[in-house]
Amino acid sequence: MSQSKVRGTNWSREEVWALLEAIQKESVVVVKKKFNSSVTHERRTAAWEGIARAVNAVGNSQRTVAQVEKKWADIKSKSILAIHHYRKESTRTGPAEEIKILKDVVMEYYC
């Protein structure tokens, strides 16, 4: 029989905040898409490992680097969708919804 995939624990509010703060500190390395002489594969890998350590320091469960990277990709995706929704609504007639600060949008989806 095949084994079913074990579901991980939900991310806590503190883990998400730790992730966002660590990403902000390492934004030059993590957010840039292209490697260059200052952003190497080794430096990016070390940055993600440091981010995972920061998340694990506040949470009860141990997150792998792959889980942390996936969570960041999910946060970016949801944030982009929220901003797109706001922009779409703001061009319609009638009262527009107020845009929230990006962190508030992220926290609304994940906490």
Share of the chain above pLDDT 70, in %: 75
Q: What is the model's pLDDT at position 71?
A: 93
Question: What's the mean pLDDT in 41-48?
Answer: 88
For 100, left (φ over 0), alpha (ψ -120 to 50), or beta? Answer: beta
Q: Residue 79 and residue 102: Cα distance in Å, rounded?
A: 7
- Structure letter (DSSP) for residue 31: T
Q: What is the model's pLDDT at position 111?
A: 45
- Check whether 72 has a pLDDT greater than 50: yes
Share of the chain above pLDDT 90, in %: 26
27: helix, strand or coil: helix
pTM summary value: 0.73
